[in-house]
Chains A and B, each alone.
Chain A
Amino acid sequence: GDSVTQMEGPVTLSEEAFLTINCTYTATGYPSLFWYVQYPGEGLQLLLKATKADDKGSNKGFEATYRKETTSFHLEKGSVQVSDSAVYFCALSTNTGGFKTIFGAGTRLFVKA
């Protein structure tokens, strides 16, 4: 079945470091791919998304490119800030066989000043 696998956390970085959080997926059909972010005490909110192969989603300095050949959607940011400390979830959404969204387990990011 469809699934999302993302790197385990926690990830601890110093401010201004480069961030990569890996995400790979398994899906039939052509899913849309998402990154959601959950700040402490809050619900998840959409960070960025891509709907087809080679699309790049970007927001708040974060980027991710939909790579069909490697079934990946890795999240990157060139220079993290303390305020980026949160849990990041990779997700896929598909209408094949009925609409569904599947989330990865989440990766917690700590950024130190």
Chain B
Amino acid sequence: DADVTQTPRNRITKTGKRIMLECSQTKGHDRMYWYRQDPGLGLRLIYYSFDVKDINKGEISDGYSVSRQAQAKFSLSLESAIPNQTALYFCATSDINSGNTIYFGEGSWLTVV
């Protein structure tokens, strides 16, 4: 089983709908992240959390919200999806002892029509 698990792996949703992407990890890491990948733009950070009570905006947080339900769970929500949020989304984790290495989930393809 993957150490960082994302659900769903693929989702098509309509404009204006609310969608949640969920992430759970078994690595025991404190730090969790949500990234967005678009062709030619690399990865851009949406939100990050260094522990359960800590939530921080990344460079592209507008239109997104997150919840850190437990050390192992970090969900990303699009309250009202729009087509330019069509992208590949990655959850990731790291730990102060991992030397800043980031461990990624397999990604969630989201298409907003």
Give A contacts to B, CB under 8 Å: 32, 34, 36, 41-46, 49, 51, 89, 93, 95, 99-101, 103-106
- Distance between B104 CB and nearest chain A CB, rounded to angstroms: 4
Give a binary string over B92-113; 1 marks a CB under 8 Å from any A CB, 0 the rest: 1000000111111111000000
Are B100 and A43 touching (Cβ within 8 A)?
Answer: no
- On chain A, the residues within 8 Å of B31 by CB distance are 99
- Distance between A4 CB and nearest chain B CB, rounded to angstroms: 8
Residue of A nearest to B41 (CB): A105
Whether A42 touches B106, Cβ cut-off 8 Å, given contacts A89-B42, A105-B41, A105-B42, is: yes
Are B42 and A104 touching (Cβ within 8 A)?
Answer: yes
B47 interface residue (CB < 8 Å to A):
no
Dominant SS among interface residues on chain A: strand
6 intermolecular pairs with C-beta atoms under 8 Å apart: A43-B4, A43-B92, A43-B104, A46-B101, A89-B42, A89-B43
Are B104 and A45 touching (Cβ within 8 A)?
Answer: yes
Are B100 and A101 touching (Cβ within 8 A)?
Answer: yes
State which of A42, A101, A104 has its C-beta within 8 Å of the C-beta of B102: A101
- Distance between A15 CB and nearest chain B CB, rounded to angstroms: 26
Number of residues of chain B lying within 8 A (CB) of chain A: 19
- On chain A, the residues within 8 Å of B102 by CB distance are 36, 44, 46, 101
- Distance between A66 CB and nearest chain B CB, rounded to angstroms: 14
B90 interface residue (CB < 8 Å to A):
yes
- On chain A, the residues within 8 Å of B40 by CB distance are 105-106
Whether A43 touches B90, Cβ cut-off 8 Å, given contacts A49-B101, A99-B100, is: yes
Are B99 and A51 touching (Cβ within 8 A)?
Answer: yes
